[in-house]
Structure 1
């Protein structure tokens, strides 16, 4: 069986009611542990909201919704971080408890915050922009605050160095993959990898999920696989694009990046398994992928 390591973005991490919340790490954990709410797209299946309701009654802000079950992860993470344990160690322990079938490594143990600078002069944490402001403010610039002082988390560079294949998942290339690549040493290690492949999160001129369209536009990049390829031009040899974007292959290939066309929409676990198999095949690797 293939050994899979996921390097998770911690640029979304922030404090909610004094708790250290790691949205991207938790989304990966809940999804791969098969306990996430697939219909809602975040959080835990069977969640309840009694604590959130009580917080609201007591006058607290409730724009970032933490469910009753979800609180357990944040309470334990915060308590262990306060005892001086690094995020990588805490993440390893919690994911082992949930029997995660992959190794999940935070990109760094140091604090990095993705910030959105808006055209009206505001400096917003990425979660404030995404959730509280519902992606409405116009973006001026992006910042990965603290990234220049951060170091790759334990095992991160080794995992990339030893990998037969590095896959940049179909996440937002700017705010999901970008913070990881901003940590000194990670981008260079991906560029030196045996083989690196990305899957485009732009399909038919639209983002599969989230505000990638507005963010590519803020960087004056085309809203197409070509815009995604421009973000990764020095890193990848192959970009997997959707069938709807077949006519745009030349835009990607002009950057010296090969393309592979297939159905990239992961509408269910079977579709996700087909995409994973297609990516491996396009990269010249043969591996059975269970749905």
Structure 2
């Protein structure tokens, strides 16, 4: 039997959930244990009296094999009877769909939170329903929802900007009120500090990975860990793979290129985060630029077309970390 490999993944969004599936599969093939996944909770929100954690649920549903792969979010085979009733009552957001099965998750979570459980405890309880093959941790137990600041100075919740307006309103900043007083959820810093390798998933660098890194103590843990920190580019051939990450990157002054994101994270040898960076084959010509940043470049196929392809990406990342 192979020895366990202590792998920590920072992830968020649909890309993060797909990548997590690949990590679990790669470790299973190596008989190397289960990963710890630190999940973004910056896009959480209260809606119609219940607490929603979209990124948490995306990862849970994907690992459980019950996610809707066609829509990219929610439960497969879900219905929307309750959502129609909410709209009939003028409650909630008519452009933000709550599936009936999905709502069951939100109600259970909200009840446990009302009973006094912390989000970490709630996620641990959720993880008992299915054999997920991973340890899941929220980035923090604090509520640090993401707000988008627009050109005119107005602010709206990230989910309204992302889901209702499809990121068409030009942002100038993204804020997580209260995050300066937040702390990493129990186990997060310890997992990073004792890891053999830390993987930064190809999630949105600004609104999925950014909030995780903004929690005080997380960057310090990444910089001080003896583990290798390996990132996977969310940009292939100068384009985002999914979503509107290019709009987010532009808002914070980062170019939408693999090298731009690598420079945004920075080299650990220069007070940044990365030891190695996976670039797509389409961006192979930029490997020398990444190396010039002080980050070890690895060129590999990065399209997460299925679990096998994603596991191959993870294998390359694990080899880079070794």
- TM-score (normalizing by structure 2): 0.86
Q: Which runs of 5+ in 1 are unaligned?
A: 285-291
- For residues 253 and 165 of structure 1, the distance between their equivalents in structure 2, rounded to whole angstroms, comes to 20
Aligned counterpart for 1:9 among listed residues 25, 40, 43: 40
Please state if 1:212 is matched with 2:245.
Answer: yes
Please state if 1:21 is matched with 2:52.
Answer: yes
Aligned counterpart for 1:75 among listed residues 102, 107, 115: 107
Please state if 1:172 is matched with 2:204.
Answer: yes
Q: How does 1:1-291 map to 2 (within 5 A)?
A: 1-60=32-91, 61-193=93-225, 194-233=227-266, 234-284=272-322
Higher RCO, Cα 8 Å, sep 6+: 2
Native 8 Å contact 1:107 1:180 kept in 2: yes
- 1:241-276 per-position Cα deviation (integer Å, ceiling 9, x unaligned): 110111112222221111101111101112111111
Total equivalences in the alignment: 284
Native 8 Å contact 2:112 2:122 kept in 1: yes
- For residues 48 and 68 of structure 1, the distance between their equivalents in structure 2, rounded to whole angstroms, comes to 6
2:77 aligns to what SS in structure 1? coil
2:172 aligns to what SS in structure 1? strand
Native 8 Å contact 2:34 2:133 kept in 1: no
Offset of 1:124 from its aligned partner?
1.5
- For residues 223 and 248 of structure 1, the distance between their equivalents in structure 2, rounded to whole angstroms, comes to 13
- TM-score (normalizing by structure 1): 0.95
Q: Which runs of 5+ in 2 are unaligned?
A: 1-31, 267-271
Offset of 1:121 from its aligned partner?
2.1
Q: Please, what is the CA RMSD of the aligned residues?
A: 1.1
